[in-house]
Structure 1
């Protein structure tokens, strides 16, 4: 079984590739230099030649690319997982957020993800649009909570952690396993994935737990209430809770 996986130069996709390979998939990556997403004719010809059995679209891109992949997957009867984000929801109105809630993003990133969600489901109603939160991993660079906190400490001399924010977040290995599971057992429509959904730990509690778990004794954690949001993504997939990975 051949899995087309976009985003392998990013943060989460390499973990998905590991999980997919372990599950028996042959993973094929997308080289944007050889196959520019902006050229539909080249994309369609390449997809026909590759003949994937499933597609997982994790790369950063616009709604045209997402829609093109969804259209191909629908025409070929393939499962498709597109990763979206908790950022489609603003803090007002507050969460926790359900799959059918009105998307209220005000920033460019969240709004772009909304457009991508719509493009995917318009072209392929049986696709899975998987909303995820901030990802955690001890090694991966990029948009990884642990590495971002390291950067905050280096940049600001402290890690500012709100006690009034309940973030959507999960360990990358759990998210990767869930994506591979969705490819094998598709769940059409919007799907939520959040290891903090049931327990509802605050960001400050998560930061302190990461500090202990990964020996970040040099972090100077400053608690505050400057950001208020219950960002949790509820009514979603069953995944290990944060407490299974962290000493919370």
Structure 2
């Protein structure tokens, strides 16, 4: 198998590339400095030259270069072009979206029938990109990802966030009334590869069955030797869980036996 991965240096992308290579796949990372994302013909020629079986589009505008409307370009326009190119060239297209397509005011837990309504920012751009991906390529697989959990305190994952809170505040405030969408990173990348060969459509990856952010942080603290001072709060009330019975990730309880 040959795969192109955008966002290959990111939290999910870097781990996906590692996993794909362990499975024997040939992985080509998208270098935006070599293949500009605002040049359609350069993009099509690149994808054509690689001739991938699947293109995993995981990139976000995490490293701004100062271009006007760069976030919209990366999150929406690039997605649109890649969906079209993969359709024309017969490659599978897997686009990573986010639980943030639902605003903090939406009533969760969310199912496939829940209507995304994020009114602005990253969540808005991603929900619009979901729509566009299917318009451009009805065979697309669009996958809403949860907040990733990993033992390494790097990148955009929960443990990195907890470490940052400890450095900045000397404590971790964790709401007992927030049920976050979250999953372990290694489980997410395994599911992404499997979904590349699933039926086209929308999928949601979330391993949180019923636990609050406070429950999860306490269990992670136990796993990491109790190095954080965890304080319960009720300051954020939100059920962000995503329910998709077609995709069963290992339960958080499996990964975090310390959960109640």
**TM-based fold match above 0.5:** yes
Say whether residues 1:192 and 2:204 are aligned partners: yes
8 Å CA contact 2:48–2:89 kept in 1: the answer is: no
Say whether residues 1:218 and 2:231 are aligned partners: no
1:102 maps to what in 2? 115
- The alignment yields a C-alpha RMSD, in angstroms, of 1.2
2:70 maps to what in 1? none
Residues 85-112 of structure 1 show CA distances to partners (whole Å, capped at 9, x for unaligned) of 1101113231000123111213401001
SS at match of 1:12: helix
1:176 maps to what in 2? 189
Distance in 1, Cα, partners of 2:192 & 2:177: 30
SS at match of 1:45: helix
Aligned residues: 244
8 Å CA contact 1:81–1:127 kept in 2: the answer is: yes
8 Å CA contact 1:11–1:140 kept in 2: the answer is: no
- Where does structure 1 differ by over 3 angstroms across 4 or more consecutive aligned residues? none
Gaps of 5+ in 2: 61-73
User: Which of 156, 166, 171 is matched with 2:179 structurally?
Assistant: 166
1:239 maps to what in 2? 249
SS at match of 1:56: strand
1:77, distance to aligned residue in structure 2 (A): 2.1
Distance 1:6 1:76, change over 3 A: same
Structure scoring higher RCO (CA < 8 A, sep ≥ 6) equals: 1
- TM-score norm. by structure 2 comes to 0.90
8 Å CA contact 1:127–1:186 kept in 2: the answer is: no
Correspondence 1:1-248 to 2 at 5 A:
1-60=1-60, 61-139=74-152, 141-183=154-196, 185-196=197-208, 199-215=209-225, 217-236=226-245, 237-247=247-257, 248=259
1:220, distance to aligned residue in structure 2 (A): 1.4
Distance in 2, Cα, partners of 1:53 & 1:228: 42
- TM-score norm. by structure 1 comes to 0.95
